[in-house]
């Protein structure tokens, strides 16, 4: 553990936002407080996805929520009602359910699906209905803007 070597942990996105790195960081902070840990921030997938989709996350006094899509319907509904922009992470397994909720709230045309942002496999999808019933990528998210500043197309 203390062999005097430098060690790096590389992660996709920002190490302090929904990253596996956080579990290691917690261990080092509590079990090895004398070992220096330097964190180099990255560009979060959320910011990269918004840029790829051309969809601002927030303007002026707008409120933004970032949450795992695996929340129960009532919690997701409340977030979609209370915030101007909602970013849902880990949407791959619950997409059809979330899409149903967006339709119920009339927001299905105010959302964009982004997968593998920043990679060669990056895809931005505005027609969410085209994704129904499909197996989606783990590295995917939905950005829902109640009042998008720009037309999603």
What CATH number corresponds to the domain at position 126?
A: 3.30.950.10
Q: Are residues 56 and 120 in the same domain?
A: yes
Percent share of the chain, pLDDT over 70: 95
Q: Are residues 97 and 128 in the same domain?
A: yes
What is the torsional sign of CA 91, 94, 100, 101? negative
Q: Are residues 70 and 106 in the same domain?
A: yes
Range of the domain at 73: 45-145
**Considering its fold, how many domains does the chain have in total?**
2
Tokens describing residue 2: 């203390």
Q: Are residues 3 and 54 in the same domain?
A: no
Residue 63 lies in a domain: yes
Q: Are residues 82 and 32 in the same domain?
A: no
Whether the pLDDT of residue 150 is over 70: the answer is no
Specify the pLDDT at position 2.
66
**This prediction's pTM:** 0.86
Which residues contact residue 108 at a Cβ distance below 8 angstroms, ignoring those fewer than 6 apart?
99, 102, 128, 129
């Amino acid at each position: 553990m203390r062999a005097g070597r430098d060690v790096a942990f590389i992660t996709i996105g920002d190490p302090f936002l929904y990253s596996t790195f956080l579990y290691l960081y917690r261990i080092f902070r509590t079990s090895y407080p004398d070992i220096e840990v330097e964190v180099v921030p990255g560009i979060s997938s959320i910011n990269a996805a918004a840029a790829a989709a051309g969809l601002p996350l927030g303007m002026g006094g707008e409120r933004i929520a970032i949450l795992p899509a695996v929340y129960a319907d009532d919690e997701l509904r409340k977030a979609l009602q209370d915030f101007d922009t909602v970013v849902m992470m880990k949407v791959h397994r619950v997409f059809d359910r979330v899409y149903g909720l967006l339709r119920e709230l009339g927001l299905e045309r105010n959302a964009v699906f982004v997968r593998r942002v920043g990679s060669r496999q990056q895809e931005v999808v505005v027609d969410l209905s085209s994704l129904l019933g499909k197996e989606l990528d783990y590295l995917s998210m939905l950005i829902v803007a109640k009042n998008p500043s720009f037309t999603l197309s």
